[in-house]
């Protein structure tokens, strides 16, 4: 059965949205496999967002994701990678629909409350990075 990596970003933890976000995925029918509240180091942030290292906003992205605790999770369920992305809502705030997490809780691309793996390969990589191979 499929697994994905989801993470409530520092803005979501600070705004006390962890409970709501966990609740949404539980009510959908997904199963929480792993979870931890942690502060991401600069090194881990750079590895996690390596695909964006050449983007002009990379520095801001690393600063933001390391700015306070995140709530890192592994979830399991049928098509949880793509359905999880649908539940998060689009990256662009003009496209994240009401009813989605980003659509309901954020107005900006830089502080968008949640991260979710965007493919099977990303999910494998990110689960291993945050929880080790045992969590796959
Ligand atoms: P993640 O789940 O966080 O990976 O978001 P995503 O997959 O929806 O988007 P993507 O991987 O393309 O970008 C990663 C993150 O970079 C986004 O979630 C945004 O928070 C951030 N980001 C994207 N564009 C910008 C930008 O123009 N400025 C800033 N500061 N951040 C950006
Ligand atoms: Mg992404």
Convert the pLDDT of each residue in 68-97 to its tens digit.
Answer: 999 999 999 999 999 999 999 999 999 999
Q: What is the pLDDT of residues 33-56, one digit of tens each?
A: 999 999 999 999 999 999 999 999
> Quick one: pLDDT at residue 29?
98
**Shortest-distance Cα residue to atom 3 of ligand 1:** 115
Dihedral angle computed from the Cα positions of residues 123, 53, 35 and 37, in that order, rounded to the nearest 10 degrees: 180
Long-range pairs for 57-61: beta carbons < 8 A, 24 or more residues apart? 57/110, 60/110, 61/110
> Quick one: pLDDT at residue 66?
98
Among positive and negative, which fits the CA dihedral 52, 57, 61, 63?
positive
Dihedral angle computed from the Cα positions of residues 83, 39, 23 and 108, in that order, rounded to the nearest 10 degrees: -60
Q: How far is CA 56 from CA 61, 88, 94, 122, in A?
A: 10, 24, 21, 22
The rounded distance, in Å, linking the Cα atoms of 36 and 108 is 25
Q: Is 3 annotated as a binding residue?
A: no
Pocket test for ligand 1, best of 110, 111, 129 (most atoms within 8 A of CB): 110
The rounded distance, in Å, linking the Cα atoms of 24 and 38 is 21
> Quick one: pLDDT at residue 96?
96
Q: Are strands 70-76 and 114-116 parallel, antiparallel or unpaired?
A: unpaired
DSSP for residue 98: B
């Amino acid at each position: 059965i499929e697994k994905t990596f989801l993470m409530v970003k520092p803005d979501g933890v600070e705004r006390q949205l962890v409970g709501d976000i966990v609740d949404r995925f539980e009510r959908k029918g997904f199963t929480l496999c792993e979870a931890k509240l942690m502060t991401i180091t600069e090194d881990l942030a750079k590895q996690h967002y390596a695909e964006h290292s050449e983007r002009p906003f990379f520095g801001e992205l690393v600063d933001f994701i390391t700015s306070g605790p995140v709530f890192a999770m592994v979830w399991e369920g049928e098509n949880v990678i793509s359905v999880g992305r649908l539940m998060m809502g689009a990256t662009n705030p003009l496209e994240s629909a009401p009813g989605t997490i980003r659509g309901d809780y954020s107005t900006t691309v830089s502080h968008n409350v949640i991260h979710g793996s965007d493919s099977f390969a990303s999910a494998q990589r990110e689960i291993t990075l945050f929880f080790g191979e045992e969590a796959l």
